[in-house]
Amino acid sequence: MTVFPQFGEPTRRGFLTICALGTTVALTGCDPFGDEGPDPLLGMSSRAQGDVRLVKDVAAAHPTLSAKLSDIRQAREKHELALTEEVRRANGRTDRPSTGPAPSVAPVPPDQAAALSLLIDALKSSEKQAADLAASVPAYRAGLVGSIAASCAALREVLA
């Protein structure tokens, strides 16, 4: 006696087809190669932390620049916070995501012009990293990343 007489007797082929469909449906959301790796915004966040540390070091070594560098430090701190918040939001985490070790900061040169040049180069690297990443992230993140790239460009002009 069959439960669904209109379908006839179950066959091995029908059973395997149903199993294959069920497996396909179950695996559609799975990545067979593991996770996608670290969030690309973590690198930008780490670089922002390094820039903040460099700005603090330059301001400590050259106190006459501290007023000028205060705005740059605050801007990069806000960048780091915004990036951290976006990573946290995207990953559904409530704790602060680990960005890994902050990039090492070169020692501040005793010459003020050389110290400013070092800071300008760091901001240029941050700008390039953000600009390169803006093209590859989803649109909702591209606004954040693009605005950070533009901000780094503006901060470089302040120092120039």
Q: Which of 14-18, 36-40, 144-148 shows the lowest mean pLDDT across its residues? A: 14-18
Q: Copy the structure tokens of residue 81.
A: 């916070």
* Helix/strand/coil (H/E/C) assignment for every residue in 25-92: HHHCCCCCCCCCCCCHHHHHHHHHHHHHHHHHHHHHHCHHHHHHHHHHHHHHHHHHHHHHHHHHHHHC
Nearest CA among 73, 62, 87 for reference residue 123: 73
pLDDT at 23 over 80: no
| Most distant pair of Cα atoms in the chain: their distance | 94
Q: Which fold does the domain 40-159 belong to in CATH?
A: Ferritin (1.20.1260)
- Cβ 134 vs Cβ 149: under 8 Å: yes
Per residue in 65-116, pLDDT tens? Answer: 999 999 999 999 999 999 999 999 988 765 555 555 556 667 888 999 999 9
Radius of gyration of the chain (CA): 26
> pTM for the full model?
0.72
Question: What is the pLDDT at residue 37?
Answer: 72
Return the residue matching tokens 């000028």.
68
Per residue in 50-79, pLDDT tens? Answer: 999 999 999 999 999 999 999 999 999 999
